[in-house]
């Protein structure tokens, strides 16, 4: 890539070893001799008068000094990417690359449809999407592997700038003809007669639901649990089971009438938030900013 030519060779090699965890794997990825990479890292250590890696049997782990240099090198690499992207934009090229990291709930319907609609306006744009748990989403942004993170959050993350934040309350999801669909709001006590299909206990969705049940002294024994949200949603379509969700996750299925959603009276509306994240201190390429504005505008729309 052109941006790599704007980065110091030693720092590029150093960052690749950080990503791979070993010189041999970095050698294969860069198509550069292991000895050349070792020399560049040794040179950096001599210049900085600090050990950058702890050599271990299973690979190389950053030292405290190495962590500091890695943070600096990532920002330099991202800045090089931005300069190249913005120079191309000056030539009138209607193209760009956007790297996204997102929680599963956004990756099922919301982001695929959003990206498709955006590409109809900007057909030259390409996207890379990483899907993972909230902590991994933020980590991808922090380590420079993603330009934008979209996730549900309860606590602040270090080195992360929150570009947009909105409440992400949990709600019940069910068939449109479910007996509980006639209520505008539903308490956890009303759930007892019905089977529950719930997400994994490690999710913020499940944690907030369990807290609400505990406070109301209601015990819910799910008939199905899964770490895959789509399975839970499909399960409730065929019986009187209920599940829990966030609005953005099922926005399109609600709009088409396939499912219906009701607020849970006992769950606080401010228990978790939808966050759009970028790396603190980073200037984004203009192409990424264009998509970022589009993403925030779509998120903010009411169902």
From first to last of its 303 residues, the chain has per-residue pLDDT tens of 444 433 477 888 888 888 888 888 888 888 888 888 888 888 888 888 888 888 777 778 888 888 888 887 777 777 777 766 666 665 555 678 899 999 999 999 999 999 999 999 888 889 999 999 888 999 999 988 999 999 998 788 888 999 999 988 889 999 999 999 999 999 999 999 999 999 998 888 898 899 999 999 999 999 999 999 999 999 999 889 999 998 899 998 998 989 999 999 888 767 789 999 999 888 888 889 889 999 999 998 754
Asked if residue 269 belongs to a domain, the reply is: no
Q: What is the pLDDT of residue 244?
A: 95
* CATH value at residue 117: 3.40.190.10
What tokens appear for 206 in the block? 């499940």
The whole domain housing 64 covers: 1-70
- Judge if 158 and 279 occupy the same domain: yes
- Judge if 34 and 155 occupy the same domain: no
Asked if residue 76 belongs to a domain, the reply is: no
Q: What is the pLDDT of residue 1?
A: 45
Place of tokens 């380590």: 143
Residues 6+ apart with CB under 8 A from 40: 9, 10, 13, 14
- Judge if 99 and 160 occupy the same domain: yes
CA distance 216 to 200: 21
- Judge if 174 and 160 occupy the same domain: no
Asked if residue 56 belongs to a domain, the reply is: yes
CB 242 within 8 A of CB 125: no
Tally of structural domains, the chain: 3
* CATH value at residue 1: 1.10.10.10
Q: What is the pLDDT of residue 3?
A: 44
3-state secondary structure the chain: CHHHHHCCHHHHHHHHHHHHCCHHHHHHHHCCCHHHHHHHHHHHHHHHCCCCEEEECCEEEECHHHHHHHHHHHHHHHHHHHHHHHHHHHCCCCEEEEEEEECHHHHCCHHHHHHHHHHHHCCEEEEEEEECCHHHHHHHHHCCCCCEEEEEECCCCCCEEEEEEEECCEEEEECCCCHHHHCCCECHHHHCCCCEEEECCCCHHHHHHHHHHHHCCCCCCCCEEECCHHHHHHHHCCCCCEEEEECHHHHHHHHCCCCEEEEECCCCCCCCEEEEEEECCCCCCHHHHHHHHHHHHHHCCCC
- Judge if 117 and 59 occupy the same domain: no
CB 71 within 8 A of CB 281: no
Asked if residue 51 belongs to a domain, the reply is: yes
Q: What is the pLDDT of residue 286?
A: 83
β-bridge pairing 170-174 and 243-246: antiparallel
CA distance 186 to 251: 19
What torsion, rounded to 10 degrees, do the Cα atoms 191, 196, 199, 201 define?
Answer: 70
CB 105 within 8 A of CB 137: no
The closest of 174, 139, 144 to 253, measured between CA atoms, is 174
- Judge if 108 and 181 occupy the same domain: no
Asked if residue 139 belongs to a domain, the reply is: yes
- Judge if 10 and 52 occupy the same domain: yes
Q: What are the φ/ψ torsions at residue 184 (nearest 5 degrees)? A: -80, -35
- Judge if 185 and 109 occupy the same domain: no
Q: What is the pLDDT of residue 30?
A: 82
- Judge if 143 and 196 occupy the same domain: no
- Judge if 250 and 232 occupy the same domain: yes
* CATH value at residue 220: 3.40.190.290
Asked if residue 268 belongs to a domain, the reply is: no
pLDDT tens per residue, range 170-228: 899 999 999 999 999 999 999 999 999 999 988 888 988 999 999 999 999 999 999 99
Asked if residue 26 belongs to a domain, the reply is: yes
CA distance 189 to 263: 13
- Judge if 250 and 196 occupy the same domain: yes
């Amino acid at each position: 890539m052109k941006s790599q030519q704007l980065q110091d060779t030693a720092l590029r090699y150093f960052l690749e070893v950080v990503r791979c965890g070993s010189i041999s794997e970095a050698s294969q990825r860069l198509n550069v001799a292991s000895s050349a990479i070792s020399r560049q890292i040794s040179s950096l250590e001599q210049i900085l008068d600090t050990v950058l890696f702890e050599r271990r049997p299973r690979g190389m782990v950053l030292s405290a000094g190495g962590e500091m240099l890695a943070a600096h090198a990532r920002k330099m690499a991202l800045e090089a990417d931005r300069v190249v992207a913005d120079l191309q934009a000056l030539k009138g090229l209607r193209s760009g690359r956007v790297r996204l990291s997102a929680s599963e709930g956004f990756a099922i319907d919301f982001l695929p449809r959003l990206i498709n609609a955006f590409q109809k306006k900007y057909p030259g744009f390409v996207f890379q999407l990483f899907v993972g748990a909230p902590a991994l989403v933020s980590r991808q942004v922090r380590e420079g592997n993603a330009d934008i993170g979209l996730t549900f959050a309860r606590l602040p993350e270090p080195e992360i700038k929150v570009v947009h934040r909105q409440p992400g309350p949990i709600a019940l999801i069910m068939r449109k003809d479910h007996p509980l669909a006639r209520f505008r709001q539903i308490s956890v006590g009303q759930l007892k007669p019905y089977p529950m299909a719930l997400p994994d206990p490690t999710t913020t969705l499940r944690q907030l639901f369990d807290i609400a049940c505990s406070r109301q002294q209601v015990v819910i024994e799910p008939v199905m649990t899964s770490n895959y949200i789509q399975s839970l949603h499909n399960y409730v379509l065929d019986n009187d089971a209920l599940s829990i969700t966030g609005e953005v996750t099922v926005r399109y299925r609600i709009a088409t009438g396939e499912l219906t959603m009701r607020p849970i009276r006992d769950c606080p509306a401010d228990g978790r938030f939808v966050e759009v994240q970028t790396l603190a201190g980073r200037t984004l390429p203009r192409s990424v900013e264009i998509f970022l504005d589009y993403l925030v505008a779509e998120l903010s729309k009411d169902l």
